[in-house]
Amino acid sequence: MRDQRLFPLFQPLDALPGIGPKLKPTLEHLVGGETVWDLLLHMPERWLDRRPVDSFENLVPGDVATVRGEVHSVKAPYNDRAPTRIEMYDGTGFLSITYFRADPRWLQGQFPVGKERIVSGRVEDYRGERQMSHPDYVLDPAKGELPPPVEPIYPLTAGLTNKRVHASTIAALDLLPEGLPEWIDPALISKQGWPDFKAALSGIHAPTQWDEAFTQLCQTRLAYDEALARELTFANARAARSLRPAPSIPAAPEALNRLVKTLPFKPTGAQIRATKEIMSDMNEPHPMRRMLQGDVGSGKTLVGAFAAVQAAAGKFQTAFMAPTEVLARQQFDTLDKMLSPHGFSVAILTGRDKGKKRESILMGLADGSLQIIAGTQALFQEGVRFQKLGLIIVDEQHRFGVADRMKLASKGEAPHVLVMSATPIPRTLAQSIHGDLDVSVLDEMPAGRQPIETRAVADIRIENVIEATGRALQRGERAFWVCPRVEVDDEDGSSAISRAAMLKDVLQVPVGLVHGRMKGEDKDAALDDFRTGRTKLLVATTVIEVGVDVPEATIMVIERAEGFGLAQLHQLRGRVGRGDRPSFCILLYRSPLTELARERLDTLRRTDDGFEIAEADFKLRGPGDLLGKRQSGLIDYRLIDLNLHGDLIMIARQDARLAVERAEAMSPERASALAILSQLLSPDLSFSD
């Protein structure tokens, strides 16, 4: 139940003065919600200093300034395209105020000659003279009118002005209840010098003086409020999960050691560390929920295989779920080669499996003779029954909805869940997104991984790139060619369909084609042809960004590379360098490059560290663009800016865990305060399972 003191904040927006039926949907669209509280969470993007400047002679072109002077003259326009010019004088010089196509009667009322006026707006330099076009404010000092000393400037949408949004927000501030209890630890407030909650919101939306330091304190305070609310939600979710019974699967060191001794390589320190964390989780009597995050080629599948061995040794079954059939078959091939020689039974189930083969697999799962199954969404379809499902491993987890994972989890009794992602995410961002998960990071690459030489090449040299690709194909190598779009009606031939036809004609080789508009089975077939060598050159859009493992592929050409994000370029580059031959990534770009595009390409040439690249991409593009639509929704922050407030998350996490652990000893006042915070700022955990 919501605290009654918060009821005014959760009224619809038309409870505010001036918000009628026409304005309400526009304002709802702007603030991303329907309540007064949603409006208060719509933060300004900057603040304007509206304090008066002493004299006209101190005005600086480009600045927003507020000045006071006497109307000296009003000059009507000499033609329809010319402005009306109002000359103002303050004893130190003149300032020209211009209006285009303004109502003359309105102008006469606003600027009577001989009267003083206060104007506020952006100062320009016009032919060596100071000018202000269409001022934001025109006020009469005789009436005591003044602009706000500091004006918040909000993100807007069509149909709304800043004045309208600001006025509505001021009205919303009046509905903030007095005397809300403090939910932040008093020692932290004292250390940081933070204002209380209401003062912080007022300092953001209705500052009374220009004080950048105080504004920053208000922003930080509110960011911490949101961080604490999120972390409380995550901590409570963890606590609830710890009370749910799950099969305790003991560690199986002997079985793991036998497997490790037969590997042609030595596991990295990061793989060993992650395996120990997973082993410990699986031994607990409550469900594991762990994220295994690692760069392309860091060896996540081996860690997953170790977990599957532990489950099998404990008489439990493991389900490996991948988003595509090609990925599932790659997983199966790897697991089968690695585990079958040790007596573990491994199979695959996809939509392609029919008839007797499918029946045999289903029987093996039902009677327990199949210990490890790789597959696609076919794993959670009706008719699939496990005898004792103890572990679920989800590869490329961001490609699945929560409902998919929950359907698979329902096939067992509270199975342990390990989700894997090959998309490096900055550590701060990972903590924020996966706050309800434990995170293991593979930050080392296995020995022997081939370095990839990355080159940026202007697209006027595309013929040289095509010739070099042809020579590689003649040597028995394979190549990817990535295009920015699908359409065929392009001028430069850089669409996937056009480029595939051209390369087939020029190189006289079978060319595969994959793009997002193809049916799933057609995409899988084209990828399988490339993987098995029936085609040597694959033209694609970014649908091959993850999961395509072709050791023979040594060349990755990315056309119009300046238009891709850093993390995406890195993922595409990771499709090569998986065999024993030198590999190359060619970034074809169109000149001239913007400064941002040049920085992206230079970063990619300089480093192949996925986490370093992710940090750089995060700084360049922010979390929403970095993660894409599905995951960026998980961090729909209203008050936190991760570039500024990332360090607050760990403080909030510690505070939240302590609060949950000490809940029984907590005072009623503190418990009530934290409950109010949760009602205001808790995230929607519908994405979590």
Q: Domain containing 136 — which CATH number?
A: 2.40.50.140
61 and 41 within one domain: no
Residues 162-171: contacts with CB under 8 Å, at least 24 apart = 164/18, 164/23, 165/27, 165/30, 165/42, 166/205, 167/18, 168/13, 168/16, 168/18, 168/19, 168/27, 168/39, 169/39, 169/40, 169/42, 169/205, 169/206, 170/205, 170/206, 171/16, 171/17, 171/18
Terminal CA-to-CA distance of the chain, rounded, Å?
23
pLDDT (0 to 100) of residue 630: 38
Query: Among candidates 472, 549, 483, which has minimal Cα distance to 513?
Result: 483
The total number of structural domains in the chain stands at 4
Give a yes or no: residue 437 inside a domain: yes
pTM strictly above 0.85: no
In three-state secondary structure terms, 314 is coil
Show which of 556, 587, 607 is a domain's final residue: 607
273 and 405 within one domain: yes
402 and 355 within one domain: yes
Q: What angle do CA 482, 486, 492 make, to 5 degrees?
A: 75
261 and 379 within one domain: yes
| DSSP symbols for 119-178 | EEEEEEEETTEEEEES-SEEE-GGGT----SEEEE----TT--HHHHHHHHHHHHTTSPT
491 and 469 within one domain: yes
pLDDT (0 to 100) of residue 242: 82
Give a yes or no: residue 620 inside a domain: no
Say what angle helices 23-31 and 162-173 make with each other, to 10 degrees. 80
Give a yes or no: residue 223 inside a domain: no
Mean pLDDT by 10 residues, the chain (689 residues): 93 95 95 95 94 91 95 90 94 94 91 96 93 95 91 94 94 94 95 96 94 95 95 87 89 94 92 96 93 85 96 96 85 94 95 87 95 92 92 77 74 90 66 71 79 92 96 94 81 83 94 88 87 93 77 94 87 86 94 89 87 74 46 62 82 92 91 95 61
434 and 328 within one domain: yes
Q: What is the Cα Rg of the chain in Å?
A: 31
Give a yes or no: residue 688 inside a domain: no
58 and 26 within one domain: no
Q: How far is CA 609 from each of CA 242, 397, 442, 452, 538, rounded to the nearest angstrom? A: 35, 21, 12, 12, 26
Residue 386 CA, chain-centre distance (Å), reads 35
487 and 416 within one domain: no
Give a yes or no: residue 336 inside a domain: yes
Per the structure, the complete domain to which residue 340 belongs is given by: 253-442
Instruction: Look at strands 511-514 and 583-589 and give their pairing.
Output: unpaired
Show which of 544, 573, 607 is a domain's final residue: 607
Give a yes or no: residue 243 inside a domain: no
Query: Among candidates 679, 682, 676, 664, which has minimal Cα distance to 183?
Result: 676
Residue 458 CA to residue 156 CA, distance in Å, equals 39
pLDDT (0 to 100) of residue 8: 96
pLDDT (0 to 100) of residue 196: 95
500 and 430 within one domain: no
With beta carbons less than 8 A apart as the criterion, state whether 667 and 245 touch. Answer: no
Give a yes or no: residue 500 inside a domain: yes
pLDDT (0 to 100) of residue 402: 60
481 and 509 within one domain: yes
Give a yes or no: residue 247 inside a domain: no
pLDDT (0 to 100) of residue 642: 75
CATH code, domain with 557: 3.40.50.300
Residue 29 CA to residue 52 CA, distance in Å, equals 35
Show which of 125, 147, 169 is a domain's final residue: 147
Residue 447 CA to residue 514 CA, distance in Å, equals 32
pLDDT (0 to 100) of residue 226: 95
| DSSP symbols for 329-351 | HHHHHHHHHHHGGGT--EEEE-T
413 and 307 within one domain: yes
b/e per residue, 601-612, with b = 16+ CB within 10 A? bebbeeebebbb
Q: Sheet containing 478-482: give its strands across.
A: 452-458, 583-589, 553-559, 478-482, 537-540, 511-514
pLDDT (0 to 100) of residue 351: 82
72 and 18 within one domain: no
251 contact partners, CB below 8 Å, separation of at least 6: 279, 280, 282, 283, 310
Beta bridge partners of 553: 478
